[in-house]
Structure 1
Amino acid sequence: MKVVLLAGGFGTRISEESHLKPKPMIEIGGKPILWHIMKEYSFYGFNEFIICCGYKQHVVKEWFADYYLHNSDVTFDFTRENQMEIHNNVSEPWKVTLVDTGLNTMTGGRIKRVQPYIGNESFMLTYGDGVSDINISELLRFHQEHGKIITLTAINVEQRFGVLDIDESDKIVSFREKSINDGGRINAGYMVCQPEIFDYIEDDATVFEKEPLETAAKQGELMAYKHDGYWQCMDTKREKDKLDELWNSGKAPWKTWD
């Protein structure tokens, strides 16, 4: 199953670094937060990624172009027509498709643009700026058992995102913007989608968290996988520093891999 990563938005300006690279490429412990997310999925056996690029998309492409080389010992033989020999490569067994989904495209539009790379298959979907210790295998099992079009991971945190009203069967009955009085779970990404979700997305101007998810909720096709473990997004410098501190301490909760 393919994993789609949303990494194309302008995002918040966390620091001066944000003017040089997209937020998913800002580093935690010397590696982009996007790499950390991919390692999470890879731990559960999901190694094929489609990355929705946009803002400074060349930075993402150049990083992956160099990644294989940077994780290998290399011999450059300039006496034999500039041949290059790779030794002891230790990079992950990833297949990564990087798609320029446009500079100003909204989240729904970015997902729609990568449809040709997904085809008529189920796929996973998440944002490129949040890490978690979620059990992705259990998330997928939950999705496959209920048979609905989309599952998203629902967590309890201080309210800053779209709020979910969830009934006793874990069906999301409404998806709406937060209000000052909200205390419910929020959308943490880490979604699993059936290909029918593309029918809910009109064009580049579609915000995935608006009409598509709201419509799916009204139709009873949006389910919540409740996660009570660790989750943290990186919207501010304070959050970035917090993630860095956890990684450098050797106690990063999202690090499930060796």
Structure 2
Amino acid sequence: MPMSKMYCAIAEFSVRPGNSICDTIACIDRNRKGIALVTDDSGKLLGTVTDGDIRRAMLARIGLETPISELIERKKGTPYYHPVTAPINTTSRELFIMMSEKSVFQIPLIDSGGRVVDLICHQDLFPEQPLDIQAVIMAGGFGTRLRPLTDDLPKPMLPVGGRPIMEHIVNQLRNVGIRRLNVTTHYKPEKIMDYFGDGQAFDVTLNYVNEDQPLGTAGALSLLSPPNEPILVINGDIMSDVNIRALIDYHREYRADMTVAVRRYEVEVPYGVVESEDSRIQRIDEKPNLTFFVNAGIYLIEPQVCKLIPSGQKFHMTDLIERLIKDNHVVVSFPLREYWLDVGRHDDYLLAQKKAEK
């Protein structure tokens, strides 16, 4: 039967070709549907820009003031160029099949003139339910760089805004629909267990996995029961507003074995950088800013990947990533555009406190 959902306010989802990528990000954040529709003045659909497109632009180091029309032009020749659309009388079943076959989560409905009259999202067809994903919070570190604050507390239990860092993470996971949480512990595990208990008070289910000896950032996963669903792994000292559902959609879009959240990191070189061929100087760049993408300590892993982690041995996420790449598995990077802070040093802890006060 045809869709009975009332037409949405298309203006809420629309940008014009001359709008910037920054404008488009604001549109996507406002509508909370992970997409912006690029339309002309008559409402005719010219293209779509998803949250994933924005993050791919970040990886390509495209400036935020770039017109969105240029981003759409850059999509030519990729699977993302032609938007997936449907006529206005398309049934729910047909839309679901299209989403499944095309690996998309939003479909604009258009009239005979190509004008957008509605936007159907996956959650419109299937109301949000608890995600079939379990999470692992890595909470076993010593927090050496934060001493003396961590003399009596493990780092994830340091208070930020009146609550432990780990409570912020637990709440974020629960709010997105992830309620089965594993916590890896080593240093002062009783502090964490006494506070969180079995998780019932936080509307989650907590399972504790204690490392007798530190096993590295991936090795502790070998202590879990073999999973049947993807695992979201997050370091227990991270404060972030990462859009977890966008991360999951991105992972599924690429059919990835592992998705690694990354963030932009700039280094200012305090000297003139000289480029030479043999002895002849070709170029000098005075005090340049170098930009990198660095590991943000958040990972989404398919269950079969856990079989590659050696049991009871120290094994880091970097080791796992290298093994997956060597074996030709699909490992993709998910650039963060949201607030992110690794609370690893005293200055970082002060920044986290200031952010919580706002």
Partner of 1:125: 233
Aligned equivalent of 1:58: 190
C-alpha change, 1:245 and 1:6, in structure 2 (3 Å) is same
Deviations 1:162-202 (A, max 9, x none): xxxxxxxxxxxxxxxxxxx9732111122111112212211
Aligned to 2:174: 42
Larger radius of gyration: 2
Output the amino acid matched with 1:18. Answer: T
Distance 2:157 2:265 in 1: 24
Contact kept, 8 Å, 1:106 with 1:204, in 2: the verdict is: no
Residues 131 and 231, structure 1, Cα contact 8 Å, conserved in 2:
yes
Partner residue in 1 for 2:350: 241
Q: Normalising by the residue count of structure 1, what TM-score does the alignment of the two structures yield?
A: 0.73
Report the AA paired with residue 186 of structure 1: V
Runs of 4+ aligned structure 1 residues displaced above 4 Å come to none
Q: 2:332 is matched with which residue? A: 223
> What is residue 221 of structure 2 aligned with on the other side?
111
* 1:91-129 superposed Cα distances (whole Å, 9 cap, x missing partner): 431111112122432222211112x1x522211111001
CA contact (8 A) 2:239 2:352 kept: no
Ranked by relative contact order (alpha carbons within 8 Å, sequence separation 6 or more), the top structure is: 1
| Aligned-residue offset at 1:66 | 9.2
Give the letter aligned to residue 187 of structure 2: Y
From 181, 206, 223, the equivalent of 1:96 is: 206
1:157 is the counterpart of 2:289 = no
Query: How far is 1:59 from its partner?
Result: 1.3
Would the aligned equivalents of 2:265 and 2:294 in 1 still touch at CA under 8 Å? Answer: yes
User: When the two structures are aligned, how many residues end up with a matched partner?
Assistant: 204
* 2:46 equivalent in structure 1: none
Structure 2 spans left out of the alignment, 5+ residues:
1-132, 268-288
Q: Quick check: 1:4–1:126 contact (8 Å CA) kept in 2?
A: yes
Q: Please point out which of 317, 328, 351 is paired with 1:209.
A: 317
Answer yes or no: is 1:191 the counterpart of 2:323: no
Unpaired segments of 5 or more residues in structure 1?
Answer: 69-90, 160-180, 250-258
Q: Equivalent residue of 1:142, what SS?
A: helix
Q: Tell me which amino acid in the other structure corresponds to 2:172.
A: E
Check conservation: 1:13, 1:19, Cα contact below 8 A. Answer: no
Q: TM-score, normalised by structure 2?
A: 0.53
C-alpha deviation, 1:223, in angstroms: 0.8
Asked if 1 retains the 8 angstrom alpha-carbon contact of 2:214 and 2:314, the reply is: no
Q: 1:215 to 1:67 in 2, by over 3 A?
A: closer
